[in-house]
């Protein structure tokens, strides 16, 4: 999971340098799905989508009692499906159904963002109900709120550079997922 998150982050960061035709502060990450190296980003989106589903499943499987809730798992999985839909839809849909492509992209991307940020909040709340996760609960909780507020700020405040705002939210999401994955990886070592 950590390797998948790093692969996505490295690919997205590399494209900010490699794609000199796009202004990284104004161009949303979705614009990098097309043109030179777009296939790399579409692949990284699919890897990230799979990592989100695997992480959610692992978090659900290790939770016990009041900390085990199916809603964060379901929301993370829907977010992964939404992210994969963006990648796959942007591969062939613009050529085959140009009128439908923007709608599918917008719905899938918005679903992915809303579901992952809501799932992060719910999962962080669940961390507080599990003694093994209480050490990271406060950080995960406030980080999730920061991401949730950042997403809504990006959506509602249209005067900001769109690319910079979106990429900041994505970086915060990936950071939160990395925190959860790292903590999950450390769990078995502490309780053997």
Task: pLDDT band for 190, please (50, 70, 90 cuts).
Answer: very low
Rounded distance between C-alpha atoms, residue 120 and residue 80, angstroms: 13
Rounded distance between C-alpha atoms, residue 95 and residue 63, angstroms: 44
pTM: 0.92
Task: pLDDT band for 10, please (50, 70, 90 cuts).
Answer: very high
Q: What's the maximum distance between 2 C-alpha atoms anywhere in the chain?
A: 56
What are the tokens at 107? 């719905």
User: What pLDDT, on a 0 to 100 scale, did the predictor assign at position 53?
Assistant: 98
- 158: three-class secondary structure by DSSP: coil
Task: pLDDT band for 94, please (50, 70, 90 cuts).
Answer: confident
- Inform me whether the pLDDT recorded for 191 exceeds 60: no
- Inform me whether the pLDDT recorded for 192 exceeds 60: no
Rounded distance between C-alpha atoms, residue 39 and residue 114, angstroms: 25
- Inform me whether the pLDDT recorded for 34 exceeds 80: yes
Q: Cα separations (Å) of 60 from 76, 129, 130, 142? A: 11, 13, 12, 21
Contact between 145 and 176 (Cβ < 8 Å): no
**Mean local confidence (pLDDT), 27-49:** 94
**Other CB atoms closer than 10 Å to residue 71's CB: what's the count?**
12
Contact between 180 and 132 (Cβ < 8 Å): no
Closest CA relative to residue 147, chosen from 110, 173, 182, 123: 173
Helix (H) or strand (E) holding 61: helix 38-62
Torsions phi, psi for 23 (to 5 deg)? -85, 110
What are the tokens at 2? 């950590």
The total number of residues written for the chain in this structure: 192
Q: What is the pLDDT of residues 141-165, one digit of tens each?
A: 999 999 999 999 999 988 888 899 9
User: What pLDDT, on a 0 to 100 scale, did the predictor assign at position 188?
Assistant: 63
Task: pLDDT band for 98, please (50, 70, 90 cuts).
Answer: confident
Q: Higher-confidence residue: 3 or 97?
A: 3
- Inform me whether the pLDDT recorded for 70 exceeds 60: yes
What are the tokens at 154? 């990006």
Contact between 105 and 163 (Cβ < 8 Å): no
């Amino acid at each position: 999971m950590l390797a998948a998150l790093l692969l996505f982050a490295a690919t997205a960061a590399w494209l900010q340098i490699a794609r000199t035709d796009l202004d990284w502060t104004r161009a949303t990450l979705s614009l990098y799905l097309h043109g030179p190296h777009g296939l790399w980003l579409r692949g990284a989106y699919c890897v990230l989508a799979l990592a989100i589903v695997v992480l959610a499943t692992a978090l659900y499987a290790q939770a016990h009692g009041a900390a085990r809730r199916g809603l964060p798992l379901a929301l993370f999985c829907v977010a992964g499906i939404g992210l994969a839909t963006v990648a796959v839809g942007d591969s062939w849909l613009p050529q085959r159904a140009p009128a439908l492509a923007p709608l599918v992209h917008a719905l899938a991307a918005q679903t992915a963002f809303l579901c992952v940020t809501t799932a992060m909040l719910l999962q962080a709340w669940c961390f507080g109900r599990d003694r093994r996760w209480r050490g990271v609960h406060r950080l995960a909780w406030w980080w999730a709120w920061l991401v949730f507020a950042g997403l809504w700020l990006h959506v509602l405040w249209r005067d900001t550079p769109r690319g910079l705002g979106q990429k900041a939210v994505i970086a915060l999401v990936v950071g939160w997922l990395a925190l959860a994955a790292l903590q999950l990886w450390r769990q078995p070592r502490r309780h053997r």
